[in-house]
Structures are given as C-alpha cells and as structure tokens.
C-alpha cells in the first residue's frame, strides 16, 4: 500500500521501515536481581543490548525491586495522574543506571513457578538433609537411604498461579493504557494472556518469545492449562521468536504452528547478580577435580543422569567431587538418590547461586555438565565457556546447535557421559583445547546480534499488520 497524504504528490511507503526509534512494550516475569532461571538472564542481556541500540523499552514486571538488591535501582513516582473515574494504577516505575532507554513498571502479581510454597518448604528440608548428609559422610559411605520422614512431594505448580497470570494481564492492560509503543514483546507463557489482552486493546502487533515449552518442562505429563495458554499465545501472535531450531520444531509439531511464522533468535551470555559461595565451606581440597552441574534441579535438567554418570566416574577416579548448584522440585529426591548410590560424600549441594558466586564456582570447575532431557537453549554452558570451563552438553539442547567446541552426548547415555567426563579430567590437552576453542567461540556470540534479530522480527510483525 502506498497511500497519499493530503493533496501533494509525496507518497509514503508504509511497508518500508520508517527509520524512527522503535518503542517496545516488553512483558516479562523475571529480571535481575530476581533471577529464577535462564529467562531472567536472557531478558537482562536482550534488554541491555536493545538499550545500547537506542531502542525505547517499557518493561512490565510482576513485582517491585527492593533491598538488599536494589543499590543500582532508582525508584520514582508513577507518572499517571489519578482521576475520579480511573484511579492511578498500582505498582511502581523505576530505572536502572545502565538502562537509559528502558522504563520498568511493576504490577502486584506473583508470577514465579519455580519457587512455589511447596518448593520453598522442599528447599528448607533439602538444606537440612544436605547438612545431615555432610555430617555423616565421613562415617557412613555405605549408601544407607536417608529416613523417609524427609520425603515429600509437590506439584510442579502450586498455589493459585493461574489467577496471578490473569491478574498480571489485567493490571498490564491498565498500566500501559496511557503508554505509547509500536510492538508488544511477551516472554513465555505466563505473559501470553497479557500480551493478547494488550494487543486486543491497542491493535498493536504481538510478538511472543518462547524460551521453553510445557513439553520441555514436564515431558509427556503436560499441564493442559499451560499448554492451552501457550497454544493461544503462539497462534494469537503475529510473529513468534524461538530460542533454537529445537524449540521451533516443537512449536510446529506439538502446537500446529506454521514454520514461516517462527524466527529463531539465539541467546548469548551476560553474567549478573550477586551472592555468597565459600569453597572452604564445602571442603574442596587441593588436587580434587570438580565437575559442575548448575541449573534448576528439575526433571527437565536431568539431575538423575548426572548422578548416574558421577557414580560410574567415581568407580575409576576417587579424587573427584560433583557440585550441584541450584534448587528445584527434585532437590530432596536428588540428595536422597546420591545417598542411596553411596556417593553422597562426593556430591556437594550448594543451593541456588547468582552472580559473583556463579563466577566463583565456575573458576573451581574442571568441567561443566548439562545433561538436560529437553533444553530449548541453555545459557549456562555459554557462561561456563566465558569462564574458561570446558563443557559437556546433551544433544537434546538448543545450545548444541551453536557450540561446536563442546562434548555432546545423549542425556540417557550415562556410560558415554561418564567416559567423556573421565577423558576431560584425565587428559589436560583435551580440556585445554575445549577451553581455548570454546572460549573463542562464545566471545563471537553477542546480545547485540540477538537484539538486532528481534528488531528485525518487530519490523516483520509491523509489516504484517500493515498488510505488506
């Protein structure tokens, strides 16, 4: 379409990029310093890169930033004016010092599927189990199971999370009512209803970003409610961003999405946050080899395969400790499994780490292992490579599409996993080659490139809306 303006001869081609600064409404549910997983890391890196490119972003988050993590955050008053007919939306507006073009808005909705009430209790109990195991390890290495009294269970999603998803959607539509933006970018299923609602209210194009699907998180035992939300989101969007071809194929085969509607944009790496990790606390001795698992301790991440491989490694190498850094719904079962295998004294459970603690634990590691059952992407291997740690990753991961200098194995092949762990620990030249080439490779990956790819997707979405 080339509509004429006024009575002159000037013609505007609306199908060509205008060159004006893009203004993006970003809908997410985690952001540093509140990181539950890779999505927070990805949102941070991507938004920071968009800021560097001069893209204006309004980022709506479901909770306020507060101490002790907010030293780099300036809270300011919300700009909306309260009227008798429409009260000022609840929540706060804030800016981060390194995000000149980004405005963050918060709404009072509790979106966090990784730290449910049940899981919080599990984490407390798991810490006690780990403490008991650590105290008894020197005396008992027979693998006697821990008392069943600490065993518990809980659903993957507890509490009224779905009500909070709808609450977030309602509050998001209210909070952006007076905002100006060109495109809506919604991250993962919990923000999809909000994205659809805002798109319906404003007529702006919706782009949804799929970092993980319910099939990745739950395997064949999907939560139908979440699947339905994901399906409505990807079909209701103008364009869909997938973090890997693995995820793109899943969207095509399990969600019935047309392939040409999906664009693959790979993640990069950005280390952030802070925390506390003391290697002396975990009795790591000089000369011991360290094999690291860092991620949520859930079915998706394959912690039981990591332990199974660890047992096989320890049958032929004694000077190795396996560090499991993370929390999740399988943490207690994983600790108990290590004890039953008789390797509890060789497996260290640190709990969730962030920022400088992640760097510290990487510096200690001789090898990072990601045995994920289904990993849409996987940022942790990039972090490991950025810290000069060789990596062993499952073939069932999106990051395996972009890293060539890494060892790869099927998640279920614990014999091959153990063989490759032993090879790296016993052969320094192999470890050095993996470190050097992997580090060079990851340095070529940039969030700026990812941000530019997203901007291109926005332009495509706008063109579709204009009928181009």
DSSP strand pairing (347-351 vs 206-210):
unpaired
Give me the pLDDT at residue 357, please. 85
The C-alpha angle 444, 357, 431, rounded to 5 degrees, equals 50
Contacts of 215 by beta carbon, 8 Å cutoff, 6+ apart:
222, 250, 254, 374
Tracing tokens 């490694």 back to the chain, one arrives at 313
CA torsion sign, 252 to 371 to 439 to 279? positive
Alpha carbon separation from 321 to 123, 144, 298, 311, 357 (Å, rounded): 22, 20, 21, 11, 18
Strand intervals (E) in 89-173: 93-96, 102-106
Q: Is the pLDDT of residue 77 over 60?
A: no
Residue 2 lies in a domain: no
Distance between alpha carbon 269 and the CA centroid of its chain, in Å? 11
Residue 100 lies in a domain: yes
d(CA 255, CA 13): 35
Q: Which of 374, 433, 367, 386 is nearest to 405 (CA)?
A: 433
Residue 15 lies in a domain: no
Give me the pLDDT at residue 90, please. 55
Residue 218 lies in a domain: yes
- The CATH number given to whatever domain includes residue 391 is 3.40.50.2000
Indicate whether 241 and 128 sit together in one domain. no
pTM above 0.85, yes or no: no
Give me the pLDDT at residue 94, please. 74
d(CA 134, CA 136): 6
Indicate whether 130 and 276 sit together in one domain. yes
| H-helix or E-strand spanning residue 457 | helix 447-465
Percentage of the chain lying above the pLDDT 90 cut: 56
Give me the pLDDT at residue 115, please. 47
Q: By three-state DSSP, how is residue 439 classified?
A: helix
Give me the pLDDT at residue 403, please. 92
d(CA 163, CA 225): 12
Question: For 45-72, how does the pLDDT look when each residue is reduced to its tens digit (9 = 90+)?
Answer: 999 999 999 999 999 988 654 433 333 3
Greatest Cα pair distance, the chain, in angstroms, is: 91
d(CA 227, CA 254): 10
Residue 94 lies in a domain: yes
Alpha carbon separation from 404 to 144, 371, 400, 408 (Å, rounded): 41, 17, 7, 9
Residue 321's domain comprises: 117-154+271-443
Indicate whether 366 and 319 sit together in one domain. yes
Indicate whether 170 and 200 sit together in one domain. yes
Question: For 299-336, how does the pLDDT look when each residue is reduced to its tens digit (9 = 90+)?
Answer: 999 999 999 999 999 999 999 999 999 988 899 999 99
d(CA 408, CA 387): 19
**Using 50, 70 and 90 to split pLDDT, how confident is the model at 443?**
confident
Alpha helices, DSSP H, located in 288-379: 303-314, 331-340, 356-364
Give me the pLDDT at residue 178, please. 85
Q: Is the pLDDT of residue 404 over 50?
A: yes
**Using 50, 70 and 90 to split pLDDT, how confident is the model at 18?**
low
Indicate whether 106 and 224 sit together in one domain. yes
Indicate whether 285 and 310 sit together in one domain. yes
**Using 50, 70 and 90 to split pLDDT, how confident is the model at 87?**
very low
Residue 14 lies in a domain: no
Indicate whether 340 and 319 sit together in one domain. yes
Indicate whether 147 and 41 sit together in one domain. no
Contacts of 66 by beta carbon, 8 Å cutoff, 6+ apart:
none
d(CA 391, CA 434): 8
Indicate whether 394 and 438 sit together in one domain. yes
Contacts of 6 by beta carbon, 8 Å cutoff, 6+ apart:
none
The number of distinct structural domains making up the chain is: 2
Indicate whether 300 and 415 sit together in one domain. yes
For the beta sheet containing 289-294, the strands, ordered from the edge strand earlier in sequence to the opposite edge, are 347-351, 320-325, 289-294, 367-370, 391-394, 407-409
Question: For 132-188, how does the pLDDT look when each residue is reduced to its tens digit (9 = 90+)?
Answer: 555 554 444 444 433 333 223 334 444 478 888 999 999 999 988 888 999 999 999
Tracing tokens 């929390």 back to the chain, one arrives at 327
Mean pLDDT of 88-111: 77
Of the chain, the end-to-end C-alpha distance in Å amounts to 7
Q: Which range has the worst mean pLDDT, 13-22, 25-34, 44-53, 185-194? A: 13-22
Q: Which range has the worst mean pLDDT, 45-54, 169-178, 263-272, 458-467? A: 263-272
Average pLDDT, the chain: 81
Residue 317 lies in a domain: yes
Residue 456 lies in a domain: yes
Mean pLDDT of 263-287: 64
Question: For 202-238, how does the pLDDT look when each residue is reduced to its tens digit (9 = 90+)?
Answer: 999 999 999 999 999 888 889 999 999 999 999 999 9
d(CA 353, CA 273): 9
d(CA 234, CA 400): 24
Q: Which of 419, 328, 22 is nearest to 410 (CA)?
A: 419
Indicate whether 424 and 402 sit together in one domain. yes
Indicate whether 108 and 182 sit together in one domain. yes
Cis peptide before 21 (omega within 30 of 0): no
H and E: helices and strands count for the chain: 14, 15
């Amino acid at each position: 379409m080339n509509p004429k303006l006024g009575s002159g001869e000037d013609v505007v081609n609306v199908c060509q990029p205008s060159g004006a600064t893009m203004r993006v409404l970003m809908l997410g549910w985690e952001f540093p310093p509140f990181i539950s997983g890779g999505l927070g890391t990805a949102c941070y890196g991507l938004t920071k890169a968009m800021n560097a490119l001069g893209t204006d972003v309004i980022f709506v988050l479901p909770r306020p930033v507060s101490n002790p993590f907010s030293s780099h955050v300036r809270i300011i008053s919300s700009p909306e004016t309260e009227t008798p007919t429409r009260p000022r939306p609840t929540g706060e507006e804030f800016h981060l010092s390194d995000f000149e073009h980004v405005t963050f808005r918060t709404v009072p909705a509790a979106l966090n599927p990784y730290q449910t009430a049940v899981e919080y209790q599990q984490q407390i109990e798991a810490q006690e189990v780990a403490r008991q195991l650590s105290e008894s390890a020197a005396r008992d290495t027979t693998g006697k199971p821990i008392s069943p009294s600490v065993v518990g269970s809980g659903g993957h999603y507890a509490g009224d999370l779905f009500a909070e998803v709808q609450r977030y959607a309602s509050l998001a539509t209210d909070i952006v009512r007076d905002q100006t933006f060109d495109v809506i970018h919604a991250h993962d299923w919990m923000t999809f209803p909000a994205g659809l609602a805002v798109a319906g209210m404003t007529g702006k194009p919706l782009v949804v970003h799929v970092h993980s699907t319910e099939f990745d998180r739950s395997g064949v035992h999907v939560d139908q409610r979440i699947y339905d939300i994901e399906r409505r989101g990807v079909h209701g969007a103008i364009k869909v961003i997938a973090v890997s071809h693995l995820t793109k194929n899943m969207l095509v085969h399990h969600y019935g999405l047309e392939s040409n509607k999906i664009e693959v944009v790979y993640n990069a790496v950005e280390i952030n946050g802070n925390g506390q990790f003391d290697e002396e606390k975990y009795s790591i001795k000089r000369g011991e080899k360290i094999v690291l698992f860092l991620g949520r301790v859930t079915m998706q991440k394959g912690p039981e395969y990591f332990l199974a491989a660890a047992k096989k490694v320890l049958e032929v190498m004694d000077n190795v400790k396996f560090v499991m850094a993370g929390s999740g719904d399988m943490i207690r079962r994983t600790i108990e499994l290590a004890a039953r295998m008789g390797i509890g004294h060789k497996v260290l459970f640190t709990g969730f780490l962030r920022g400088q603690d992640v760097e510290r634990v990487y510096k200690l590691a001789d090898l990072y292992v990601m045995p994920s059952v289904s990993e849409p992407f996987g940022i942790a291997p990039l972090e490991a490579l950025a810290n000069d740690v060789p990596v062993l990753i499952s073939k069932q991961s999106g990051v395996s599409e972009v890293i060539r200098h890494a060892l790869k194995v099927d998640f279920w092949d614990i014999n091959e996993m153990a063989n490759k762990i032993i090879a790296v620990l016993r052969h320094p030249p192999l470890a050095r080659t993996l470190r050097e080439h992997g580090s060079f490779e990851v340095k070529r990956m940039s969030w700026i490139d990812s941000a530019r790819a997203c901007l291109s997707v926005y332009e495509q979405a706008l063109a579709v809306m204009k009928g181009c």
